């Protein structure tokens, strides 16, 4: 399959819920192991070159649009972009709902002290954190951890594409019920390692500018070069690239 076919296929896989509330309600229905992933401009760029990562996105049970770049692309392709369902805002709500239902949570990603900070913060809010693992272990380590200590919710914060590979491994080898969330930097955000942009920047879809200003050396390639490449790919798709 060509990169252009893969990119169209990812667009086909994006789930556009009727509302955020309907999505959250649906995620509480755990049958087997279900995987929720997010696709933003960076993920789209990675998937153009990494077939396994692209397959993991499209094989997720629910794939959600994250960010203004994907909104532009979906509108360009004549598709309804739906609400912006970024993980940083959505995942704490998912955790809260599972906590209220009495479900234990696994946090897998980032490093200390941010991992413990997030676990302590969630415990203070009433969550049962049954598993904590940093994001630098071999992939089968996370499978072993959840085999020993089953939970109903696992939040993966290892970054792309490792977390997506781990999510597929968990789905293939566990029985559930388990909801697996590919959360990117969400554990870093919740643990205080990374700060959120002001509300007005988030509201107009330029949180990436804030993050770039905070970490210019690390994020320059992703946001400056990456955004140009993303827009080029979007135009090629619009023009029917094969």
- Calculate the average pLDDT of the chain: 92
What are the pLDDT digits (tens) for 17-34?
988 999 999 999 878 999
Q: For the residues of 181-241, what is the DSSP string, one character each?
A: EE-TTHHHHHHTSSPPPPHHHHHTT-HHHHHHHHSHHHHHIIIIIHHHHHHHHHHHHHTT-
What are the pLDDT digits (tens) for 163-199?
999 999 999 999 989 999 999 999 999 999 988 888 8
Distances 164 to 28, 39, 111, 160 between C-alpha atoms, Å = 21, 11, 18, 7
pTM assigned to the model = 0.92
Q: Does 242 score more than 70 pLDDT?
A: no
């Amino acid at each position: 399959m060509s990169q252009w076919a893969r990119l169209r296929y990812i667009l086909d896989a994006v789930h556009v819920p009727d509302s955020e509330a309907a999505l959250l309600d649906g995620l509480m229905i755990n049958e087997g192991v279900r995987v929720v992933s997010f696709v933003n401009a960076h993920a789209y760029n990675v998937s153009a070159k990494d077939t396994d990562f692209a397959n993991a996105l499209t094989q997720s049970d629910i794939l959600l649009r994250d960010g203004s770049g994907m909104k532009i692309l979906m509108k360009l392709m004549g598709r309804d972009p739906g609400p912006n369902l970024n993980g940083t805002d959505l995942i704490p709500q998912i955790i809260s709902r599972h906590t209220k239902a009495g479900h234990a949570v696994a946090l897998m990603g980032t490093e200390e002290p941010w991992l413990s900070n997030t676990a302590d913060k969630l415990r203070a809010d009433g969550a049962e954190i049954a598993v904590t693992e940093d994001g630098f272990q071999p992939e089968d380590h996370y499978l072993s951890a959840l085999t020993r200590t089953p939970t109903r919710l696992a939040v993966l914060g290892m970054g792309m594409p490792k977390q997506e590979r781990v999510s597929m491994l968990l789905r293939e080898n566990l029985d559930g019920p388990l909801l697996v969330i590919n959360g990117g930097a969400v554990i870093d955000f919740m643990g205080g390692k990374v700060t959120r942009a002001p509300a007005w920047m988030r509201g107009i879809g330029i949180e990436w500018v804030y993050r770039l200003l905070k970490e210019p050396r690390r994020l320059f390639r992703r946001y400056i070069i990456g955004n140009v490449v993303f827009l080029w790919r979007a135009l090629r798709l619009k023009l029917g690239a094969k």
